[in-house]
């Protein structure tokens, strides 16, 4: 008996939630690194209504969306691991169906199910169930908005809803700010003159995104004395990736900025980074290319952020195998995505394949991080699109059939599923 697409998707979603629930029951939430800041800020929001280290120490160093999300969960479930687990399960319940819908629109329903399965089994996404992170909420919001953006020809409210959803994503990670422009450019390059009508709509979309963040921008100006719309860590991050001693990743900030305010530190390090980048554009270009490769070289953050709890539950001997599992799966997705791109070239032609939305999103997020600073978790916002591209390859490989044609734009997100 052949299962319907809807039933298959529900089974995959159930599998995804079950795997994450089992992981969450075995591995305790233990906030380390940036998680500690998210946890502290969420607790301070809940108890004092202040986004900061305490009621008297407001901050805008991290984008506030993550802290607000987990503060809401703490209000419902109480501060602790249950709230974190519940939040991340809800986010998974958004990511899996949205990933299916995007892949189904672009590559066919069977590829959509394969994409959902790849997302469900992704070790790092499972490991992140017990972390306080910005990646899962960002991916959920990015995917949800992209589903609407991709089905705009059918849904009249797609553009305004996309703007509001991506405005919320902007509060989680500012890197999404220019995505509408990137997608509009890719559409014009892919479709020629037929892509031009989306350009003015893109401006409306960006206006709505900025409107969502305007209250927070005003707060930063009044409370922090900063002109930063979302966060004050752009300058430090840009400096980490662009200074004479940079390794491309995280590094300690220079001693002479420690006593500055967040706003002063942001402006000072931003100016230093820009000056260094302008001093030798060729070196900057080479460093950016190196960081682009460095961004994709491994995937171990899900273990690093859970290491204490993993040691307590499974012992220290489990750390290396789990890191190998996570990185091996990441390499499998990259290989599958490359093969999927080759298949896309045969289906659509090399030029149109190069500007496909999945490639455009991956390239946009990856290039922006490569310009600024890289860590392995920073590849996740763009890397999730590898799962969609890899799905079209694995599905066609197992079925031994050519890649399915994309669903016409006027039927997307509303097409009947076989």
Whether 417 is covered by a domain: the verdict is no
| pLDDT, one tens digit for every residue, the chain (418 residues) | 467 889 999 999 999 999 999 999 999 999 988 899 999 999 999 999 999 999 999 999 999 999 999 999 999 999 999 999 999 999 999 999 999 999 999 999 999 999 999 999 999 999 999 999 999 999 999 999 999 988 765 667 788 899 999 999 999 999 999 999 999 899 888 888 776 656 778 888 999 999 999 999 999 999 999 888 999 999 999 999 999 999 999 999 999 999 999 999 999 999 999 999 999 999 999 999 999 999 999 999 999 999 999 999 999 999 999 999 999 999 999 999 999 999 999 888 999 999 999 999 999 999 999 999 999 899 999 999 999 999 989 988 877 655 555 554 445 554 433 3
Closest of 40, 107, 61, 55 to residue 406, by C-alpha: 107
Closest of 392, 405, 356 to residue 100, by C-alpha: 392
Alpha carbons within 13 A on the beta-carbon side of 211: 12
| DSSP structural state of residue 51 | S
Task: Tell me the C-alpha distance between 150 and 142, whole Å.
Answer: 12
Distances (CA, A) of 342 to 132, 345, 399: 37, 5, 17
Q: What φ, ψ does residue 96 adopt, rounded to 5°?
A: -65, -55
Alpha helix segments (H runs only) across 108-222: 109-121, 123-127, 135-150, 158-172, 179-191, 198-219
Are residues 6 and 14 in contact, defined by beta-carbon separation less than 8 angstroms? Answer: no
Whether 334 is covered by a domain: the verdict is yes
Whether 189 is covered by a domain: the verdict is yes
CB-based contacts of 328, cutoff 8 Å, min separation 6: none
pLDDT at 233: 94
Whether 411 is covered by a domain: the verdict is no
Q: Is the pTM of this model over 0.85?
A: yes
Whether 250 is covered by a domain: the verdict is no
Domain count, the chain: 1
Burial of 255 (0-12, 13-18, 19+ CB in 10 A): exposed
CB atoms near residue 315 (< 10 Å):
9
Q: Cα angle at 191 between 185 and 193, to 5 degrees?
A: 85
pLDDT at 152: 61
pLDDT at 190: 87
pLDDT at 3: 75
Are residues 282 and 247 in contact, defined by beta-carbon separation less than 8 angstroms? Answer: no
Hey, what long-range contacts does 242-247 have (CB within 8 A, 24 or more apart)? 242/273, 242/276, 242/277, 242/284, 242/287, 242/372, 243/272, 243/273, 243/276, 244/276, 246/287
Hey, what long-range contacts does 189-192 have (CB within 8 A, 24 or more apart)? 189/351, 189/354, 189/355, 190/351, 190/352, 190/355, 190/356
pLDDT at 159: 82
Quote the tokens at residue 301: 């953050």
pLDDT at 192: 80
Q: Which residues form the domain of 231?
A: 5-245+259-406
């Amino acid at each position: 008996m052949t299962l319907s697409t809807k039933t298959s998707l529900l089974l995959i979603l159930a599998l995804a939630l079950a795997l994450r629930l089992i992981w969450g029951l075995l591995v305790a939430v233990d906030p380390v690194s940036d998680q500690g800041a998210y946890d502290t800020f969420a607790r301070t929001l809940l108890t004092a209504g202040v986004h900061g280290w305490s009621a008297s120490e407001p901050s805008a160093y991290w984008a506030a969306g993550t802290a607000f999300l987990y503060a809401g969960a703490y209000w419902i479930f109480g501060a602790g691991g249950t709230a974190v687990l519940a939040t991340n399960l809800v986010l998974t319940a958004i990511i899996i169906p949205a990933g299916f819908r995007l892949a189904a629109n672009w590559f066919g329903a069977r590829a959509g199910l394969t994409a959902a399965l790849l997302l469900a089994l992704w070790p790092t996404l499972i490991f992140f169930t017990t972390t306080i992170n910005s990646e899962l909420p960002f991916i959920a919001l990015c995917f949800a908005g992209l589903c609407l953006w991709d089905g705009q020809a059918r849904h009249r409210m797609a553009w305004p809803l996309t703007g509001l959803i991506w405005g919320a994503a902007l509060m989680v990670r500012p890197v999404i700010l220019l995505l509408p422009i990137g997608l509009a450019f890719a559409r014009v390059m892919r479709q020629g003159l037929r892509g031009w009508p989306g350009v003015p709509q893109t401006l409306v979309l960006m206006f709505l995104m900025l409107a969502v963040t305007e209250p927070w921008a005003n707060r930063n100006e009044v409370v922090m004395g900063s002109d930063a719309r979302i966060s004050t860590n752009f300058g430090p991050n840009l400096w980490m990736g662009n200074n004479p001693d940079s390794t491309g990743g995280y590094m300690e900030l220079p001693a002479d900025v420690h006593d500055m305010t967040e706003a002063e530190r942001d402006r000072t390090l931003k100016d230093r980074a820009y000056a260094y980048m302008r001093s030798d554009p060729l070196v900057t270009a080479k460093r950016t290319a190196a960081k682009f490769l460095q961004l994709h070289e491994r995937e171990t953050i899900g273990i690093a952020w859970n290491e204490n709890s993993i040691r307590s539950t499974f012992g220290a001997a489990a750390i290396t195998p789990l890191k190998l599992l996570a990185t091996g799966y990441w390499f499998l997705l990259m290989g599958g995505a490359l093969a999927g791109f080759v298949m896309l070239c045969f289906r659509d032609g090399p030029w149109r394949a190069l500007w496909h939305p999945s490639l455009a999103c991956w390239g946009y997020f990856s290039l922006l991080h490569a310009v600024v600073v890289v860590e392995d978790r920073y590849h996740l916002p763009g890397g999730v699109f590898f799962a969609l591209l890899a799905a079209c390859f694995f599905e066609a490989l197992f079925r031994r059939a050519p890649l399915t044609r994309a669903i016409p734009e006027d039927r997307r997100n509303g097409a009947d599923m076989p």
